[in-house]
Amino acid sequence: MRIFQKKIAVITGAGSGIGRALAIQLSKAGAHVAITDIYQEGLDETESICRGLGAKVLAKICNSASLDDMQSLVKAVIDEFDHVDIVINNAGIALGKKSLVDVSYEELEHIMGVNLWGVIYGSKEFLPYLLDRPEAALVNISSIFGLAGIAEQAPYCATKFAVRGLTESLRAELLDTNVEVYTVHPGGINTNIAEEALKDAQGDQERQKAVENFKKLLTHSPEKAALTILNGIKKKNYKILIGEEAYLFDFLPRLLPTNYSKVLEFGIGKLL
């Protein structure tokens, strides 16, 4: 997909971070956007910016982990725009650094709901409409933690590996169709995801310190991430890596399939 002008794009988690940056860049390119978030204030800000750029905007509070909410979103998008050309399943959360033994089932269900089921719902519910278009793109945001397993990040890695597997399987299914399927693996992007993890860690000094350390690795801007994603779509680069660390995480498990964890843990420790 080389031209975004007049395309209808759906972006979840667009109230801040990569989602907002994508909505803004697509609006600048002449697309119209349907944006969602669970926070009204951030969503309103993104809507205002995109409207100021001349885009038609549908803004809707939506919990990606809810099938009812996602089905309601699909109906609203089709009612408003009649069709959809691009779907970007971007909404996601993190738990911070925490061993699996210490993670509650409630936390596991929450992160699985947003990071995995949200992508499943967004892919499955919108796919029939994407298949009706002359050209369309489905973009699912994984992570560098969907390329390599990291200690004390098992729940997050589980969701992001699953997003990768889901998306790569969908790409194989849709090879002979008009739908382009993209997996995105961002490195350290400076978004609100760490702030949300900090909120969840309130009262737990060890977890708060771990999240603060993690924030030191967030060296890339959401704007850089959005531009890399959109350039990847234009070039039909179906596996989009963002940041030098993404290339490292992609390469090391293939070079050292049984020992890469030690190398990555040592490197992360040095950076912190």
39 tagged catalytic: no
pTM of the entire predicted model: 0.89
Token pair for 160? 């992001």
Count Cβ atoms below 10 Å from residue 268 Cβ, excluding itself.
16
How many helices and strands (H and E) does the chain possess? 11, 7
Partnered with residue 34 across adjacent β-strands are 10, 58
Write down the catalytic residue from 39, 121, 129, 156: 156
pLDDT at 36: 98
Distance between CA 216 and CA 194 in Å, rounded? Answer: 10
Q: Which residues fall within 8 angstroms of residue 103, CB to CB, at 6 or more apart?
A: 95, 154, 155
pLDDT at 272: 43
Domains located in the chain, CATH noted: 8-271 (3.40.50.720)
Distance between CA 36 and CA 23 in Å, rounded? Answer: 10
Binned average pLDDT, 10 residues per bin, the chain of 272 residues: 94 97 98 98 98 98 98 98 98 90 96 98 98 98 95 95 98 97 87 58 61 61 94 97 92 91 74 47
Contact 242, 148 (CB under 8 A): no
Count Cβ atoms below 10 Å from residue 105 Cβ, excluding itself.
7
Per DSSP, the residues of 110-177 read: HHIIIIIIHHHHHHHHHHHHHHTSSSEEEEEE--GGGTS--TT-HHHHHHHHHHHHHHHHHHHHTTTS
